[in-house]
Structure 1
């Protein structure tokens, strides 16, 4: 007979193991991964914490892919945040990355295939150089990219392929939309060397600076008689960006090949 203060754990299965515990006393559900004791963390999640790894690089990597996570567990944060530099959260159900604020040394973050939207803002990660958010749910670049720039100003590698806000041949985007997306993102990150599946070229950076340089945007924001003033204050799709910019520059909206370069 169990005592009144004991917790009853659901039967273990390969799918449910370590996922849920029922607290009978308080009649609440508890995320047992979050509260998982350190000695029960799966060994393959721990690369090394005592210098026993084959090399220093392995000791700073943490792989949490395919773990059916809705958030970064507190126990994981407490155990690994002080030294992990490479973190893989791909193929989970994460929508909030606030817990990463504790990963002060993080330089690489892989979070592909999560239901992350433009409402998910990364905490300050000044050391982050590589960020993959492929096949997430990011539907609008503005103001999300600006917030990303503030949080991660030193990105060298950024990959957003498969998101609605990153038009390409793979998701039905036109050449015009893909080019505008690419130039806009490049304009926000001076240190960016690689965007999606291609390197950032000198010509692309020059054109991005010419097209999206700050004085021009400020001038457009102050102009209340143009549609572009509303554009920079509200989340939009790149289709509407194309239409508004085409109107401002006197371009034909119906032509995808009338590039702003």
Structure 2
């Protein structure tokens, strides 16, 4: 990708902190190679929001990255997040992620130390603002929380100890295995993607409703 002089100057002078790089609103389709070569060895905070980026492969070169802001890009669940073991904060608000399964599991493998995730405005993050029901919102939160034991914030809310306990109860392996027909491969059926996220969510909703044992103190 050809770079304009303005983009180089903008990147060089974006902030007085040489660990932060902002490339927002630059009409980018990818993170330019020249930017990667010049900045990847010391950048910890990268903002690439409000562009046209669909592929994040280049971000893997930012070895010291702890915060990635990629809001308002046409990123879908087909976009693989590269291994970023130091990443603690990931914002993908108002992107095009329509399914959490198996995307969230792959994200956990790539970024196991996330403490703050924000996915607001994605089809896979139901809320009152996009037509989601309370139970869909609750399941979304608990499913994501179950993947990241170290998570402190999801979207605009702090993760509570009650949520962590409920996420562990609801999505622990024996319970998940029970929603898949043992004769059709058990949990491996889910792992290999033959069960859609929508079907999985509906079954979890039904099973959760049957198994509730009185009111729970979930501050949601």
TM-score range, shorter chain: 0.7 to 0.9
Is 1:189 aligned with 2:117?
Answer: no
Instruction: Tell me if the contact between 1:192 and 1:200 (Cα under 8 Å) persists in the aligned partners.
Output: yes
TM-score by length of 2: 0.86
Once the two structures are TM-superposed, the CA of residue 244 in structure 1 deviates from its matched residue by 1.8
1:180 paired residue among 139, 144, 148: 139
SS at match of 1:109: strand
Residue of structure 1 equivalent to 2:164 = 205
User: For the residues of structure 2 that align with 1:32 and 1:210, how far apart are their CA atoms?
Assistant: 51
Instruction: Tell me if the contact between 2:65 and 2:86 (Cα under 8 Å) persists in the aligned partners.
Output: yes
Which stretch shows the higher mean deviation, 177-186 or 224-233? 224-233
1:114 paired residue among 73, 85, 91: 73
1:59 paired residue among 18, 26, 36: 18
Residue of structure 1 equivalent to 2:30 = 71
User: For the residues of structure 1 that align with 2:209 and 2:7, how far apart are their CA atoms?
Assistant: 60
- The structure with the larger Rg is 1
Instruction: Tell me if the contact between 1:89 and 1:112 (Cα under 8 Å) persists in the aligned partners.
Output: yes
Once the two structures are TM-superposed, the CA of residue 170 in structure 1 deviates from its matched residue by 1.1
How much is the aligned-residue C-alpha RMSD, in angstroms?
2.7
In structure 2, the CA distance between the partners of 1:47 and 1:155, relative to structure 1 (3 Å rule), is: farther
Once the two structures are TM-superposed, the CA of residue 214 in structure 1 deviates from its matched residue by 2.6
In structure 2, the CA distance between the partners of 1:194 and 1:225, relative to structure 1 (3 Å rule), is: same
In structure 2, the CA distance between the partners of 1:82 and 1:122, relative to structure 1 (3 Å rule), is: same
Once the two structures are TM-superposed, the CA of residue 242 in structure 1 deviates from its matched residue by 3.9
Residue of structure 2 equivalent to 1:32 = 2
Is 1:125 aligned with 2:84?
Answer: yes
1:171 paired residue among 127, 130, 134: 130
Once the two structures are TM-superposed, the CA of residue 44 in structure 1 deviates from its matched residue by 2.8
Once the two structures are TM-superposed, the CA of residue 124 in structure 1 deviates from its matched residue by 0.4
SS at match of 1:224: helix
Residues 163-218 of structure 1: CA distance to partner in whole angstroms, max 9, x if unpaired?
A: 00000011110001000000000000011000001000000000000111134334
Is 1:160 aligned with 2:119?
Answer: yes
Once the two structures are TM-superposed, the CA of residue 43 in structure 1 deviates from its matched residue by 2.3
In structure 2, the CA distance between the partners of 1:179 and 1:79, relative to structure 1 (3 Å rule), is: same
Instruction: Tell me if the contact between 1:64 and 1:89 (Cα under 8 Å) persists in the aligned partners.
Output: yes
1:139 paired residue among 95, 98, 108: 98
Structure 2 unmatched runs, 5+: none
User: For the residues of structure 2 that align with 1:115 and 1:208, how far apart are their CA atoms?
Assistant: 29
Looking at both structures, which has the greater relative contact order when contacts are Cα pairs under 8 Å and sequence separation is at least 6? 2
Residue of structure 2 equivalent to 1:223 = 182
1:90 paired residue among 30, 49, 62: 49
TM-score by length of 1: 0.73
In structure 2, the CA distance between the partners of 1:226 and 1:74, relative to structure 1 (3 Å rule), is: closer
